[in-house]
Chains A and B, each alone.
Chain A
Amino acid sequence: MKKPVLGLLLGAVLGAFDGLTALGTPEVASQIVGIVIGSTIKGLIVGALVGWYAYRVQSLSKGLLVGLVVAAFFAFLVAAIPQPDGRHYWIEIMLPGSIVGLIVGYATQQFGQGRGAVAR
Protein backbone atom coordinates (compact mmCIF):
# COMPACT_ATOMS: atom_id res chain seq x y z
CA MET A 1 0.00 0.00 0.00
CA LYS A 2 1.35 3.43 -0.95
CA LYS A 3 2.09 5.79 1.92
CA PRO A 4 -0.46 8.47 0.86
CA VAL A 5 -3.19 5.79 0.72
CA LEU A 6 -2.11 4.46 4.13
CA GLY A 7 -2.21 8.03 5.48
CA LEU A 8 -5.70 8.57 4.06
CA LEU A 9 -7.08 5.34 5.51
CA LEU A 10 -5.44 5.76 8.90
CA GLY A 11 -6.44 9.43 9.06
CA ALA A 12 -10.06 8.57 8.25
CA VAL A 13 -10.28 5.74 10.79
CA LEU A 14 -8.58 7.67 13.58
CA GLY A 15 -10.56 10.81 12.71
CA ALA A 16 -13.84 8.90 12.90
CA PHE A 17 -12.80 7.30 16.20
CA ASP A 18 -11.71 10.68 17.56
CA GLY A 19 -15.10 12.15 16.58
CA LEU A 20 -16.96 9.27 18.23
CA THR A 21 -15.27 9.99 21.54
CA ALA A 22 -17.47 13.10 21.64
CA LEU A 23 -20.24 10.70 22.67
CA GLY A 24 -18.78 10.98 26.14
CA THR A 25 -19.56 14.70 26.18
CA PRO A 26 -23.31 15.11 26.79
CA GLU A 27 -23.26 18.78 25.74
CA VAL A 28 -22.36 17.89 22.15
CA ALA A 29 -23.96 14.43 21.88
CA SER A 30 -26.82 15.81 19.78
CA GLN A 31 -24.32 16.94 17.12
CA ILE A 32 -22.46 13.63 16.99
CA VAL A 33 -23.14 12.91 13.30
CA GLY A 34 -21.73 16.26 12.21
CA ILE A 35 -18.78 15.88 14.58
CA VAL A 36 -17.91 12.40 13.28
CA ILE A 37 -18.21 13.51 9.64
CA GLY A 38 -16.15 16.64 10.28
CA SER A 39 -13.53 14.73 12.26
CA THR A 40 -13.29 12.07 9.54
CA ILE A 41 -12.79 14.72 6.86
CA LYS A 42 -10.15 16.39 9.03
CA GLY A 43 -8.46 13.01 9.47
CA LEU A 44 -8.57 12.38 5.71
CA ILE A 45 -6.93 15.72 4.94
CA VAL A 46 -4.26 15.33 7.63
CA GLY A 47 -3.63 11.70 6.58
CA ALA A 48 -3.32 12.64 2.90
CA LEU A 49 -0.87 15.47 3.62
CA VAL A 50 1.24 13.49 6.07
CA GLY A 51 1.16 10.39 3.84
CA TRP A 52 2.21 12.45 0.83
CA TYR A 53 5.08 13.92 2.87
CA ALA A 54 6.16 10.43 3.97
CA TYR A 55 6.09 9.37 0.32
CA ARG A 56 8.46 12.21 -0.55
CA VAL A 57 10.71 12.29 2.53
CA GLN A 58 11.99 9.23 4.40
CA SER A 59 12.71 10.55 7.90
CA LEU A 60 10.98 9.43 11.06
CA SER A 61 11.70 12.63 13.00
CA LYS A 62 10.55 14.89 10.15
CA GLY A 63 7.50 12.71 9.56
CA LEU A 64 6.53 12.97 13.23
CA LEU A 65 7.03 16.73 13.19
CA VAL A 66 4.95 17.21 10.05
CA GLY A 67 2.20 14.94 11.47
CA LEU A 68 2.18 16.95 14.69
CA VAL A 69 2.13 20.37 13.03
CA VAL A 70 -0.45 19.54 10.35
CA ALA A 71 -2.80 17.77 12.80
CA ALA A 72 -2.41 20.52 15.41
CA PHE A 73 -3.22 23.14 12.79
CA PHE A 74 -6.43 21.43 11.66
CA ALA A 75 -7.40 20.66 15.26
CA PHE A 76 -6.89 24.37 16.00
CA LEU A 77 -9.26 25.30 13.16
CA VAL A 78 -11.89 22.93 14.58
CA ALA A 79 -11.36 24.06 18.16
CA ALA A 80 -11.67 27.70 17.06
CA ILE A 81 -15.32 27.10 16.12
CA PRO A 82 -17.25 28.03 19.26
CA GLN A 83 -19.74 25.55 20.75
CA PRO A 84 -23.44 26.57 21.06
CA ASP A 85 -22.73 27.68 24.64
CA GLY A 86 -19.90 29.85 23.36
CA ARG A 87 -17.12 27.70 24.85
CA HIS A 88 -14.03 26.47 23.03
CA TYR A 89 -12.67 22.97 23.72
CA TRP A 90 -9.07 23.92 22.95
CA ILE A 91 -7.27 21.26 24.97
CA GLU A 92 -9.88 18.51 24.48
CA ILE A 93 -9.66 18.86 20.70
CA MET A 94 -6.10 19.99 20.08
CA LEU A 95 -4.20 17.63 22.36
CA PRO A 96 -5.69 14.32 21.14
CA GLY A 97 -5.82 15.67 17.58
CA SER A 98 -2.10 16.39 17.68
CA ILE A 99 -1.35 12.90 19.00
CA VAL A 100 -3.41 11.45 16.16
CA GLY A 101 -1.14 13.43 13.81
CA LEU A 102 1.92 11.91 15.50
CA ILE A 103 0.44 8.42 15.09
CA VAL A 104 -0.24 9.01 11.39
CA GLY A 105 3.21 10.55 10.95
CA TYR A 106 4.88 7.57 12.59
CA ALA A 107 2.79 4.96 10.76
CA THR A 108 3.32 6.50 7.32
CA GLN A 109 7.07 6.68 7.88
CA GLN A 110 7.40 3.13 9.20
CA PHE A 111 4.89 1.32 7.02
CA GLY A 112 3.62 1.57 3.47
CA GLN A 113 5.41 1.77 0.17
CA GLY A 114 7.55 4.82 -0.48
CA ARG A 115 8.73 6.40 -3.70
CA GLY A 116 11.85 4.23 -4.04
CA ALA A 117 10.19 0.96 -2.99
CA VAL A 118 9.50 -1.88 -5.38
CA ALA A 119 6.35 -3.96 -5.02
CA ARG A 120 7.07 -7.56 -3.95
Chain B
Amino acid sequence: MTWLSNDLVERLRDVATRPELATNRYAILRPIGRGGMGSVYAARDEQLGREVAIKVSNAAAPADDLDQRLRQEAKVLARLEHPGIVPVHDAGLLDDGRWFYVMKLVRGETLADHAASLDHEAARLVVFERVAETVAFAHAAGIVHRDLKPSNVMVGQFGEVLVLDWGVARVLARVDRGGGPGAHADDRHPDGAADGTSGGTRMGTAGFMAPEQAHGDSSNAGPPADVYALGALLFWMWTGSPAPADLDDLSRSLGAASPAPSKRLAAIIRKCLAPAPAARYASAKELVDDLAHYRQGAAVSAYRETALERAGRWLIRYQTFVWLVLSYLVMRVAFAFLR
Protein backbone atom coordinates (compact mmCIF):
# COMPACT_ATOMS: atom_id res chain seq x y z
CA MET B 1 0.00 0.00 0.00
CA THR B 2 1.33 3.47 -0.90
CA TRP B 3 0.71 6.38 1.46
CA LEU B 4 -0.32 9.66 -0.08
CA SER B 5 2.04 12.55 0.59
CA ASN B 6 0.79 15.55 2.56
CA ASP B 7 1.26 17.70 -0.50
CA LEU B 8 -0.93 15.43 -2.56
CA VAL B 9 -3.57 15.29 0.17
CA GLU B 10 -3.60 19.08 0.26
CA ARG B 11 -4.00 19.25 -3.49
CA LEU B 12 -6.81 16.71 -3.46
CA ARG B 13 -8.54 18.64 -0.68
CA ASP B 14 -8.14 21.85 -2.66
CA VAL B 15 -9.68 20.30 -5.76
CA ALA B 16 -12.47 18.67 -3.77
CA THR B 17 -13.48 21.87 -2.00
CA ARG B 18 -13.16 24.22 -4.97
CA PRO B 19 -16.52 25.80 -5.60
CA GLU B 20 -18.42 24.90 -8.73
CA LEU B 21 -19.58 28.18 -10.18
CA ALA B 22 -22.81 28.15 -12.13
CA THR B 23 -21.40 30.85 -14.37
CA ASN B 24 -18.29 30.41 -16.49
CA ARG B 25 -17.38 34.06 -16.10
CA TYR B 26 -14.95 33.36 -13.22
CA ALA B 27 -12.14 30.82 -13.24
CA ILE B 28 -10.92 29.86 -9.78
CA LEU B 29 -7.10 30.24 -9.59
CA ARG B 30 -6.05 29.44 -6.04
CA PRO B 31 -7.31 29.55 -2.45
CA ILE B 32 -6.36 32.69 -0.49
CA GLY B 33 -7.80 32.03 2.93
CA ARG B 34 -10.46 30.26 4.89
CA GLY B 35 -12.45 31.74 7.76
CA GLY B 36 -15.33 30.55 9.89
CA MET B 37 -17.95 31.87 7.53
CA GLY B 38 -16.41 31.50 4.10
CA SER B 39 -13.41 30.68 1.97
CA VAL B 40 -11.74 33.21 -0.29
CA TYR B 41 -10.27 32.31 -3.67
CA ALA B 42 -8.33 34.28 -6.23
CA ALA B 43 -10.13 34.02 -9.55
CA ARG B 44 -9.96 35.41 -13.04
CA ASP B 45 -12.84 37.42 -14.40
CA GLU B 46 -12.82 36.14 -17.99
CA GLN B 47 -15.19 38.82 -19.18
CA LEU B 48 -13.12 41.78 -17.98
CA GLY B 49 -9.73 40.06 -18.00
CA ARG B 50 -8.77 40.85 -14.43
CA GLU B 51 -8.08 39.01 -11.22
CA VAL B 52 -10.73 39.18 -8.53
CA ALA B 53 -11.38 37.56 -5.17
CA ILE B 54 -14.36 35.29 -4.64
CA LYS B 55 -15.72 34.56 -1.21
CA VAL B 56 -17.76 31.40 -0.95
CA SER B 57 -19.92 30.36 1.95
CA ASN B 58 -18.67 27.44 4.05
CA ALA B 59 -22.25 26.41 4.65
CA ALA B 60 -22.95 22.69 4.59
CA ALA B 61 -26.24 23.37 2.86
CA PRO B 62 -27.79 26.30 0.99
CA ALA B 63 -29.67 28.88 3.05
CA ASP B 64 -28.19 27.86 6.37
CA ASP B 65 -26.89 30.51 8.81
CA LEU B 66 -23.39 30.83 7.28
CA ASP B 67 -24.91 31.23 3.84
CA GLN B 68 -27.21 33.99 5.06
CA ARG B 69 -24.31 35.73 6.75
CA LEU B 70 -22.26 35.71 3.57
CA ARG B 71 -25.22 37.18 1.72
CA GLN B 72 -25.63 39.79 4.43
CA GLU B 73 -21.91 40.64 4.24
CA ALA B 74 -22.11 41.11 0.47
CA LYS B 75 -25.08 43.45 0.88
CA VAL B 76 -23.37 45.45 3.62
CA LEU B 77 -20.22 45.78 1.52
CA ALA B 78 -22.19 46.74 -1.57
CA ARG B 79 -23.80 49.60 0.36
CA LEU B 80 -20.59 50.91 1.87
CA GLU B 81 -18.78 52.63 -0.96
CA HIS B 82 -15.61 53.90 0.67
CA PRO B 83 -11.88 53.71 -0.16
CA GLY B 84 -11.37 51.73 3.06
CA ILE B 85 -13.85 49.03 2.13
CA VAL B 86 -13.32 46.37 -0.54
CA PRO B 87 -15.78 46.96 -3.37
CA VAL B 88 -18.14 44.14 -4.32
CA HIS B 89 -18.42 43.53 -8.07
CA ASP B 90 -20.89 40.69 -8.28
CA ALA B 91 -22.76 38.06 -6.27
CA GLY B 92 -24.56 34.86 -7.09
CA LEU B 93 -25.23 31.21 -6.35
CA LEU B 94 -22.97 28.20 -6.74
CA ASP B 95 -24.19 25.09 -8.52
CA ASP B 96 -25.04 23.64 -5.10
CA GLY B 97 -27.13 26.69 -4.17
CA ARG B 98 -24.65 28.30 -1.76
CA TRP B 99 -23.88 32.02 -1.99
CA PHE B 100 -20.70 33.61 -3.26
CA TYR B 101 -19.71 37.14 -3.97
CA VAL B 102 -16.96 38.66 -6.07
CA MET B 103 -14.82 41.53 -4.85
CA LYS B 104 -11.64 43.39 -5.69
CA LEU B 105 -8.54 41.30 -5.13
CA VAL B 106 -6.46 43.20 -2.59
CA ARG B 107 -2.74 42.62 -2.63
CA GLY B 108 -0.91 43.41 0.56
CA GLU B 109 -0.64 42.13 4.09
CA THR B 110 -2.81 42.20 7.15
CA LEU B 111 -2.08 44.69 9.88
CA ALA B 112 -1.04 41.75 12.05
CA ASP B 113 1.91 41.24 9.66
CA HIS B 114 2.40 44.87 8.68
CA ALA B 115 2.52 46.37 12.18
CA ALA B 116 6.19 45.48 12.72
CA SER B 117 7.17 47.93 9.98
CA LEU B 118 5.32 50.78 11.70
CA ASP B 119 8.10 51.86 14.02
CA HIS B 120 7.03 55.37 14.91
CA GLU B 121 3.90 57.06 16.18
CA ALA B 122 3.07 59.02 13.04
CA ALA B 123 3.17 55.90 10.81
CA ARG B 124 0.97 53.96 13.23
CA LEU B 125 -1.53 56.77 13.51
CA VAL B 126 -1.78 57.16 9.71
CA VAL B 127 -2.84 53.52 9.38
CA PHE B 128 -5.04 53.58 12.44
CA GLU B 129 -6.85 56.75 11.43
CA ARG B 130 -7.74 55.24 8.07
CA VAL B 131 -9.27 52.27 9.86
CA ALA B 132 -11.15 54.56 12.25
CA GLU B 133 -12.36 56.76 9.38
CA THR B 134 -13.69 53.72 7.55
CA VAL B 135 -15.50 52.53 10.66
CA ALA B 136 -16.82 56.08 11.21
CA PHE B 137 -18.22 55.99 7.68
CA ALA B 138 -19.92 52.68 8.42
CA HIS B 139 -21.36 54.03 11.67
CA ALA B 140 -22.76 57.03 9.81
CA ALA B 141 -24.42 54.55 7.43
CA GLY B 142 -25.90 52.67 10.39
CA ILE B 143 -23.55 49.68 10.32
CA VAL B 144 -21.44 48.29 13.18
CA HIS B 145 -18.54 45.99 12.24
CA ARG B 146 -18.33 44.04 15.54
CA ASP B 147 -15.14 42.15 14.72
CA LEU B 148 -12.32 44.65 14.27
CA LYS B 149 -8.89 43.13 14.87
CA PRO B 150 -5.44 43.25 13.25
CA SER B 151 -6.12 40.33 10.92
CA ASN B 152 -9.23 42.10 9.62
CA VAL B 153 -7.28 45.13 8.45
CA MET B 154 -5.40 44.89 5.17
CA VAL B 155 -2.60 47.26 4.20
CA GLY B 156 -2.16 47.30 0.44
CA GLN B 157 1.02 47.59 -1.60
CA PHE B 158 0.47 51.31 -2.09
CA GLY B 159 -0.41 52.11 1.50
CA GLU B 160 -4.16 51.72 1.08
CA VAL B 161 -5.85 50.52 4.25
CA LEU B 162 -8.94 48.31 4.02
CA VAL B 163 -11.25 47.01 6.70
CA LEU B 164 -12.23 43.42 5.93
CA ASP B 165 -14.66 40.80 7.14
CA TRP B 166 -18.01 42.47 7.61
CA GLY B 167 -19.65 39.08 8.06
CA VAL B 168 -20.88 39.76 11.58
CA ALA B 169 -21.71 43.42 10.95
CA ARG B 170 -24.91 44.70 12.46
CA VAL B 171 -27.25 46.93 10.50
CA LEU B 172 -28.60 49.56 12.88
CA ALA B 173 -30.61 51.78 10.59
CA ARG B 174 -32.43 51.51 7.33
CA VAL B 175 -30.00 52.20 4.48
CA ASP B 176 -30.85 53.07 0.89
CA ARG B 177 -28.96 51.99 -2.23
CA GLY B 178 -26.78 55.09 -2.09
CA GLY B 179 -24.91 53.70 0.84
CA GLY B 180 -23.46 56.94 2.10
CA PRO B 181 -23.61 58.35 5.60
CA GLY B 182 -27.10 59.39 6.46
CA ALA B 183 -28.57 56.89 4.04
CA HIS B 184 -31.11 54.30 5.17
CA ALA B 185 -31.33 50.54 4.68
CA ASP B 186 -34.14 48.97 2.81
CA ASP B 187 -33.69 45.49 4.06
CA ARG B 188 -32.32 43.69 7.04
CA HIS B 189 -30.95 40.30 7.79
CA PRO B 190 -33.29 37.64 6.47
CA ASP B 191 -34.11 36.44 9.98
CA GLY B 192 -35.38 39.90 10.78
CA ALA B 193 -32.86 40.54 13.54
CA ALA B 194 -30.93 43.10 11.49
CA ASP B 195 -27.73 41.15 12.10
CA GLY B 196 -28.61 37.56 12.44
CA THR B 197 -27.78 37.46 16.13
CA SER B 198 -30.09 37.05 19.00
CA GLY B 199 -29.66 37.81 22.68
CA GLY B 200 -26.95 35.70 24.26
CA THR B 201 -24.93 35.41 21.05
CA ARG B 202 -21.23 36.08 21.54
CA MET B 203 -19.49 37.53 18.51
CA GLY B 204 -16.06 39.02 18.00
CA THR B 205 -12.52 38.13 19.01
CA ALA B 206 -11.25 37.92 22.59
CA GLY B 207 -9.02 40.86 23.43
CA PHE B 208 -10.70 43.01 20.81
CA MET B 209 -14.37 42.61 21.63
CA ALA B 210 -16.19 44.99 23.92
CA PRO B 211 -17.32 43.71 27.35
CA GLU B 212 -20.96 43.84 26.24
CA GLN B 213 -20.09 41.51 23.34
CA ALA B 214 -18.03 39.26 25.60
CA HIS B 215 -21.04 38.95 27.89
CA GLY B 216 -23.05 37.61 25.00
CA ASP B 217 -24.95 40.77 24.18
CA SER B 218 -23.81 41.02 20.56
CA SER B 219 -27.30 41.81 19.31
CA ASN B 220 -27.19 45.13 21.18
CA ALA B 221 -23.60 46.01 20.32
CA GLY B 222 -23.68 49.52 18.87
CA PRO B 223 -20.98 51.90 17.63
CA PRO B 224 -19.32 52.00 21.11
CA ALA B 225 -18.51 48.30 20.65
CA ASP B 226 -16.50 49.18 17.54
CA VAL B 227 -14.92 52.08 19.45
CA TYR B 228 -13.77 49.55 22.04
CA ALA B 229 -12.29 47.36 19.29
CA LEU B 230 -10.56 50.38 17.75
CA GLY B 231 -9.09 51.21 21.17
CA ALA B 232 -7.94 47.60 21.47
CA LEU B 233 -6.38 47.86 18.02
CA LEU B 234 -4.54 51.03 19.02
CA PHE B 235 -3.45 49.34 22.28
CA TRP B 236 -2.20 46.36 20.29
CA MET B 237 -0.27 48.61 17.88
CA TRP B 238 1.68 49.99 20.84
CA THR B 239 2.02 46.95 23.06
CA GLY B 240 1.74 44.02 20.65
CA SER B 241 -0.85 42.34 22.87
CA PRO B 242 -4.66 42.32 23.10
CA ALA B 243 -6.23 44.73 25.57
CA PRO B 244 -6.60 43.44 29.13
CA ALA B 245 -9.99 43.85 30.77
CA ASP B 246 -8.49 45.33 33.93
CA LEU B 247 -7.87 49.10 33.68
CA ASP B 248 -4.83 49.00 35.98
CA ASP B 249 -3.22 46.32 33.79
CA LEU B 250 -4.09 48.48 30.81
CA SER B 251 -2.31 51.55 32.18
CA ARG B 252 0.66 49.44 33.27
CA SER B 253 1.01 47.86 29.82
CA LEU B 254 0.81 51.24 28.10
CA GLY B 255 3.44 52.65 30.45
CA ALA B 256 5.73 49.68 29.77
CA ALA B 257 5.35 49.90 25.97
CA SER B 258 8.44 50.91 24.04
CA PRO B 259 8.04 53.60 22.94
CA ALA B 260 5.24 54.39 25.38
CA PRO B 261 2.35 56.43 23.99
CA SER B 262 2.14 60.02 25.20
CA LYS B 263 -0.19 60.79 28.13
CA ARG B 264 -2.82 62.22 25.82
CA LEU B 265 -2.71 59.27 23.41
CA ALA B 266 -2.84 56.83 26.34
CA ALA B 267 -5.93 58.71 27.59
CA ILE B 268 -7.55 58.32 24.16
CA ILE B 269 -6.85 54.56 24.27
CA ARG B 270 -8.22 54.31 27.82
CA LYS B 271 -11.37 56.20 26.85
CA CYS B 272 -11.97 53.79 23.96
CA LEU B 273 -11.46 50.83 26.29
CA ALA B 274 -13.75 52.02 29.07
CA PRO B 275 -15.84 49.05 30.28
CA ALA B 276 -19.09 51.05 30.12
CA PRO B 277 -20.17 51.88 26.55
CA ALA B 278 -21.43 55.31 27.71
CA ALA B 279 -17.93 56.23 28.94
CA ARG B 280 -16.38 55.61 25.49
CA TYR B 281 -16.54 57.80 22.41
CA ALA B 282 -20.11 57.60 21.16
CA SER B 283 -18.94 56.71 17.64
CA ALA B 284 -15.78 56.23 15.63
CA LYS B 285 -16.25 59.76 14.24
CA GLU B 286 -15.71 61.23 17.71
CA LEU B 287 -12.56 59.15 18.05
CA VAL B 288 -11.33 60.30 14.62
CA ASP B 289 -11.94 63.93 15.61
CA ASP B 290 -10.07 63.53 18.90
CA LEU B 291 -7.15 61.87 17.09
CA ALA B 292 -7.05 64.75 14.61
CA HIS B 293 -6.89 67.18 17.55
CA TYR B 294 -4.10 65.08 19.04
CA ARG B 295 -2.07 65.17 15.84
CA GLN B 296 -2.56 68.93 15.49
CA GLY B 297 -1.38 69.51 19.06
CA ALA B 298 -4.83 70.67 20.17
CA ALA B 299 -6.65 69.61 23.34
CA VAL B 300 -8.27 66.16 23.31
CA SER B 301 -11.54 65.36 25.06
CA ALA B 302 -10.07 62.23 26.65
CA TYR B 303 -7.43 64.05 28.69
CA ARG B 304 -7.93 66.80 31.23
CA GLU B 305 -4.66 68.71 31.21
CA THR B 306 -3.23 71.05 33.84
CA ALA B 307 -2.67 74.74 33.08
CA LEU B 308 1.06 74.05 32.79
CA GLU B 309 0.50 71.20 30.34
CA ARG B 310 -1.86 73.39 28.33
CA ALA B 311 0.73 76.17 28.19
CA GLY B 312 3.44 73.71 27.19
CA ARG B 313 1.28 72.23 24.46
CA TRP B 314 0.42 75.72 23.19
CA LEU B 315 4.10 76.71 23.12
CA ILE B 316 5.00 73.59 21.14
CA ARG B 317 2.06 73.94 18.79
CA TYR B 318 2.74 77.60 18.03
CA GLN B 319 6.50 77.58 18.47
CA THR B 320 7.11 79.54 15.25
CA PHE B 321 4.81 82.27 16.48
CA VAL B 322 6.47 82.28 19.90
CA TRP B 323 9.93 82.47 18.33
CA LEU B 324 8.88 85.40 16.13
CA VAL B 325 7.45 87.36 19.08
CA LEU B 326 10.52 86.58 21.20
CA SER B 327 12.83 87.67 18.35
CA TYR B 328 10.94 90.95 18.08
CA LEU B 329 11.13 91.61 21.82
CA VAL B 330 14.81 90.65 22.05
CA MET B 331 15.58 92.96 19.13
CA ARG B 332 13.73 95.84 20.73
CA VAL B 333 15.54 95.32 24.04
CA ALA B 334 18.87 95.03 22.25
CA PHE B 335 18.30 98.30 20.36
CA ALA B 336 17.37 100.05 23.62
CA PHE B 337 20.60 98.92 25.27
CA LEU B 338 22.86 99.50 22.28
CA ARG B 339 21.66 103.03 21.78
Contact = CB atoms under 8 A, between A and B. Distances in A.
A70 interface: no
19 contacts: A21-B332, A21-B336, A24-B335, A92-B335, A95-B331, A96-B328, A96-B332, A96-B335, A99-B324, A99-B327, A99-B328, A100-B328, A102-B324, A103-B324, A103-B325, A103-B328, A106-B320, A106-B321, A110-B318
B339 interface: yes
A24 B331 CA distance: 13
Nearest to A91: B335
Contacts of B325: 103
A60 B339 CA distance: 35
A21 to B, nearest CB: 5
Given A95-B331, A96-B331, A110-B318, A24 B324 contact: no
Contacts of A95: 331
B295 to A, nearest CB: 16
Interface of B: 318, 320-321, 324-325, 327-328, 331-332, 335-336, 339
Interface residues of A, number: 13
B339 A103 contact: no
Contact of B331 (A25, A99, A103, A107): A99
Q: Is the interface of B mostly helix, strand, loop or mixed?
A: helix
Contacts of B320: 106
B10 to A, nearest CB: 58
Contacts of A96: 328, 331-332, 335
A103 B329 CA distance: 12
Contact of B321 (A25, A92, A100, A107): A107
Contacts of B327: 99
Given A99-B331, A103-B325, 11 more contacts: A24-B335, A95-B331, A96-B332, A99-B324, A99-B327, A100-B328, A102-B324, A103-B321, A103-B328, A107-B321, A110-B318
Given A99-B324, A103-B324, A110-B321, A25 B339 contact: yes
A21 B325 CA distance: 15
Contacts of B328: 96, 99-100, 103
Contacts of A103: 321, 324-325, 328
B324 A106 contact: yes
The 8 lowest CB-CB distance pairs between A and B, nearest first, are: A24-B336, A99-B328, A103-B324, A21-B332, A102-B324, A106-B321, A96-B331, A92-B335
Contacts of A110: 318, 321
B329 to A, nearest CB: 9
B245 to A, nearest CB: 38
Interface string A86-97: 000000100110
